[in-house]
């Protein structure tokens, strides 16, 4: 097993054709993480964030990669830490389920492709009674859900998010009622995470705050990314209304 050094990250970025946003966050060194391979040709790759989110890519016949996954899973069990494994390929799914059988639970998710023309052609709403604000430290201290612990898990620290990520909140009076933040971001991509106060749901606030996020992405030449659980119909339909199309199913494995 070889741990890939950072000077080779640009080569790997050119090698991979499709991956979760956190993979590009690691490769752009926006967040801390590790990349493992079985040989210098990078035929099989394993990406791992500091918080325990992983992704496998390439040739699924690599025993070294699967052995490393078993070690990471066992370590997460012993230390009561997170283990979440992303897979986009059926051959990897088969291999993972054979080797990690009984220790992981399989969940299905969708990832979408953003169609900027469809987004620009849609009718947008105005909310004169609400105030938009870019998320900074004061908003985090009075957040709805995305607190310091959230940013420490996904961004390594709140300071790293404030420096390299972005997000927006919607306020009604002094109360934050909706938030949209980049759960992961790289030089090219930004994956959105949204939450709305349950007392304000059904008013289209998630759509409006998402538009603020997407507009920022377009202005800054960043590709917005939308993923959701397969059973989350509300998120699925909201994404399609916002110009995200061509849903592709993939799976994640978590500790059972």
The answer to whether 39 and 2 are in contact (CB under 8 A) is: yes
29: left (phi over 0), alpha (psi -120 to 50) or beta: left
* Domains defined along the chain, listed by start: 2-101 (3.40.630), 115-227+235-243 (3.40.630.30)
Separation CA 33–CA 52 (nearest Å): 9
pLDDT of residue 209: 95
Reading the block at residue 65, the tokens are 């990669």
Write out pLDDT tens, residues 19-65.
999 999 999 999 999 999 998 889 999 999 999 999 999 999 999 99
- Note the pTM of the prediction, 2 decimals: 0.95
- Averaged pLDDT for residues 161-166: 98
pLDDT of residue 125: 74
Percent of the chain residues past pLDDT 70, beyond the cut: 100
Per DSSP (E only), the strands in the chain are 2-3, 33-37, 44-49, 53-58, 84-87, 104-114, 131-134, 167-172, 175-185, 189-196, 223-225, 227-229, 244-255
Helix/strand/coil for 22: helix
- Please say if the pLDDT value at position 212 is more than 90: yes
The burial class, CB within 10 Å (0-12 / 13-18 / 19+), for 122 is exposed
- Please say if the pLDDT value at position 201 is more than 90: no
Write out pLDDT tens, residues 90-140.
999 999 999 998 899 999 999 999 999 999 998 887 777 788 999 999 999
pLDDT of residue 25: 98
């Amino acid at each position: 097993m070889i741990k890939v050094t950072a000077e080779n990250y640009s080569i790997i970025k050119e090698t991979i054709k499709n991956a979760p946003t956190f993979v590009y966050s690691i490769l752009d060194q926006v967040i801390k993480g590790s990349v493992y391979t079985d040989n210098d040709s990078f035929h099989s790759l394993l990406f791992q964030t500091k918080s325990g989110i992983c992704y496998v890519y390439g040739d699924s016949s690599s025993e070294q990669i699967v052995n490393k996954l078993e070690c990471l899973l066992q370590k997460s069990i012993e230390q009561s830490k997170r283990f979440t494994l992303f897979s986009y390929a059926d051959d990897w799914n088969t291999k993972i389920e054979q080797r990690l059988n009984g220790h992981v639970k399989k969940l299905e998710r969708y990832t979408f492709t953003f169609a900027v023309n469809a987004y620009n052609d849609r009718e947008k709403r105005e909310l004169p009674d609400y105030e938009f604000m870019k998320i900074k430290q004061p908003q985090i201290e009075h957040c709805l859900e995305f607190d310091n612990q959230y940013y420490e898990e996904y961004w390594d620290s709140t300071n790293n998010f404030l420096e390299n990520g972005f997000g927006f909140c919607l306020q009604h009076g002094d109360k934050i009622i909706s938030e949209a933040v980049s759960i992961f971001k790289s030089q090219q991509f930004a994956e959105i995470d949204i939450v709305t106060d349950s007392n304000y749901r059904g008013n289209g606030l998630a759509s409006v705050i998402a538009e603020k996020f997407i507009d920022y992405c377009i202005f800054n030449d960043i590709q917005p990314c939308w993923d959701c659980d397969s059973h989350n119909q509300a998120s699925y339909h909201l994404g399609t209304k916002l110009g995200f199309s061509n849903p592709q199913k993939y799976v994640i494995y978590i500790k059972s």
